[in-house]
Structure formats: C-alpha cells, structure tokens
Structure 1
Amino acid sequence: MEQKLQLRTVNVTRYMQALREGGSLPALAAADDGFKYVLKFRGAGQREKALIAELLGGEIARILGLKVPELVFANLDPAFGRSEGDEEIQDLLKGSQGLNLALHYLSGAINYDPVATKIDTFLASKIVWLDLLITNVDRTFRNTNMLMWNRELWLIDHGAAFLFQHGWTRWKENATKPFPIIANHVLLQQAEKLDQVNEEFSSLLSKEKIDAIVSLIPEEWLLAGRDGDNAAELRTVYADFLKLRMSYSDQFTKEANDARKSLI
C-alpha cells in the first residue's frame, strides 16, 4: 500500500536577512507558526526545479535515516517585500509569490569542516550513496552542504541534484550512466562501507516510498518548468527516474568504490 507523506504549510510573515552564501539568495525568514526558516525562492536560480530537487533529496535522505532539517511549504503573499530597499531582493520576492520551500533554521549550527571533524565511516558511506542516487553534484570540499548542530551532522541544500531535469528528454540516460563527479565528494575517502549501505538502502527505499515522496511535488512547480502540460505524467518521470536509478545501485556503488580506491 502506498504510504502517505505530508509537509506542513506555513505563511511567511517576515523577511529577516539574505543568506548570500549561495547564488540563489536564500533568506532567513519568520513564519506564522513562530519558527524561523531558511527560505528557498521559486524565483531564484534554477527556479522551481531547484525546489523540486531540494524537496526530493531532503525527503529521500530523511526516509534513509539521515538528519535533514524539517522541510515545509512556505507561502509568500503578493504584497510581501514591497518595502524591501534592495532592488535585487525585491525582484526576487516579486518573482516568488505563492508556494516556496523552506528548511527549519538550525540556530547556532556551524558549517561542517572535514579537516576539523571526521565522521563515522558508515555515516559517510550513507551520504555518498544518497548523493549517487540523486546525482547531487554539490557536496564537495568547496561546498560541503552539511552542518554540525548539537554535535550531529545535518544535510542541507540538495537543489543541485537530479541533473536530468535540465535535459528532460534524457532522463533514462541520466539514470543509468556513470556519475564521475562522485570523485569530488567531500566524504568519499571515508566511505568505506558503501557495499553494506547499498544492501541496506536498496531494501529500505521501496518503490512505494519513492511514489510517496514524489507525490509531494506541487503541481504548479511541475508545470512551471514547461516540460509538459500534464503534472501527473511529469511526476511519474521523477518516480521512474529514481526506480531505474535504484536498479543500477550495484553499478554506481562499484563506481564510487573504484573512485575511492584511486584516492587512497
């Protein structure tokens, strides 16, 4: 039976400050539930496709038992940001009216430093395997996209995953072809237990769970990319990509193991 997943929806009440570490200008914002969030805008960078990648990558990581800040849908009122003095930010807010995505703000968290903090080889292997599955190009020494919070490692920023979105008709090819960028992964050298993780995760991430995660993608985000005019069909492509990619997990695990050996 298909599992039902659901994300909370909040209304953004206050734009607090831009977080200029990334090119997409995420922001720290307050919402009507009393919490602070890192707000990812549909009007930035790769637009809705980045939000889809963030949503899928984050919820897959959560299903696999990795720590990810809570993801919520975040409504941005049309009147929001009219008083913003920065023209670039004002344009971003105007272009992001409606449904956006936000991550719960981890107050006091610091960027993961791979030199200062070594993590468990099993955890490293889990994160490398996840990024192989979702074709995430952005977990490198330059951008680790991980935080240390309460002495635990948390994953953030999956907006650069799912490369097939940017060449939509080649999704099958992208699901099955090698992913050499994994050689740049910040945790690859520590990922000594990829075979064990592959066995565990291959049974954990069922087709039903994939369908449940993909069902979370809002219709308006799917149609905004203009890759088709049927949201259900577009949603099916994401599910089929992940299922096909899963069927090649032995191959991409071997690929990562081979890349890792070259680093030792």
Structure 2
Amino acid sequence: MNFKGVKAKKYLGQNFLNSEDVLNKIVRSLEIKENDFFIEIGAGTGVLTRELVRAGAQVAAVETDESLVRILREDFSGNPDIEIVKADILKLDLTEYEERGEALRIAGNIPYYITSPILFKILDNRDFVKDATLMIQKEVGERLTAEPGNKIYGIPTVLFNQFADVKKLFYVSRNCFSPRPDVDSVVINISFLEKPRYFLKNEEFFKKLVKQAFGQRRKMLRNTLRSILPDIHKDFLSTVLSRRPEQLTTEDFAALSNELYK
C-alpha cells in the first residue's frame, strides 16, 4: 500500500494498515448503502477514505497530523463526497454532522493510546450515531465483549452492553501494520440500540453507579456503594450487594440502579 513517503509518528500512535486483504474485509463488513455518511477517525494516508467513497458513502475524514492533512487535501481535491477535517477527534463536536446523510456512521483505525476516550465519546453521541466499526487493540475488544465473572469484565463492558450490540468481526495480526505494533488488533462493530437494553429510571445515575462499583472491583458492592450512598440500609438488596461488581450482569446493574435511585 502506498504511504507516499510518510513516516509514522510514534507520539500520535500511528500504525498504517499495509494489508489490502484486511482493508477489503473492513469495507465488506461495513455493508455501505447510498447516502451513508461516515466520520472516519484517523484518516491517515486515505486508504480507507478512498474505499468508503468508492462504495457510495460520503465521508468526513478526520486527521490531526498536518502533514497527512496536506496529502489528503491534495489527493481528494475537488471530490464533493469527501471533507478533510483537521482536528483532534476528542475535541471535535460530532453534533455538527448530525444532519448529514440518512445514517451517521463512524469508522477508523483507532490509536491505542486514546482508545477509551474515543469509545466513550462515541457512546455519549449515540443518539445520532447509527454504528461504529473500529480497528482497536485486541485486548480492548475482548474487554468490551467479556462475560460476567471474567477479570476483564468492567465499566465499558456494562455500559456498551446497555446501549449497544458489540460484535468482534475479525482479528488482525500486528504484521499487517507499518510500523509493526507490539499487539494484535480486532475489528469490532458497535451498533447502537434504539432504546437502552434495560429500563433505567435515570441514565446518569446508572453510569455513576457502574463507575463507582468498578472503582473498587475487589470489594463487595455493599462496601463500595456506601461511599456514594451513605444512607443505604445494611441488608438492602442483600443478595446483590453481597457480590463483587464483576459478578453482576448488565441487567443486575440496571435493576440495582432503579432500586437505589431517588
């Protein structure tokens, strides 16, 4: 694949995909429809950008590296279906793109060092984002899809399961990137639900509860939650509160949230 002589910048977490086979698998997995509008995170040298447009999508290609932005603007100059956006994705106001296309979608190869902030930003904008197909560190993909009782089951697992269907599509070897990273990757799809999986009296309270619970994941919930609910009765919901957070399902957390919210 052509990197146009660009050298990856380590401080930006750049690892360029160098496999046509993986690129084609990503594009096929997207099942792009006419009028789909994509925000592409980390457009790099534009290899995915080009394929998205070729498949019929419109794209806002977000890139923070000035040298890559110049290349992208030169390569796609005059193409009405591509907007090159020089920005930090974490600072970009995604609501600016809310009305673009019939379905706002997100795709990209995510820098490992800012994976979690990007994921939670996407989650916070789920009201107008249909789905996100992302290349992320394999370990993070495993965490998002972990089952209760697993040591990697945690805050992102519960929150994303409450608001989305998360699927691991396929794994990608570290050998498919230049420079070669130290870990393997996985392509995931996050498809947001029209409404939360389980009823919530208050969504913000639910999020606060989950984050507080996993802040001290080895403690029983009775002890962990006392710090934010000092008036909690000692034997209140004794069955649930005697467990550790990784033992609770998303449904358990929703039920607990509804019981405790006042």
Higher relative contact order (CA 8 A, sep 6+): 1
TM-score by length of 1: 0.32
Greater Rg by CA? 2
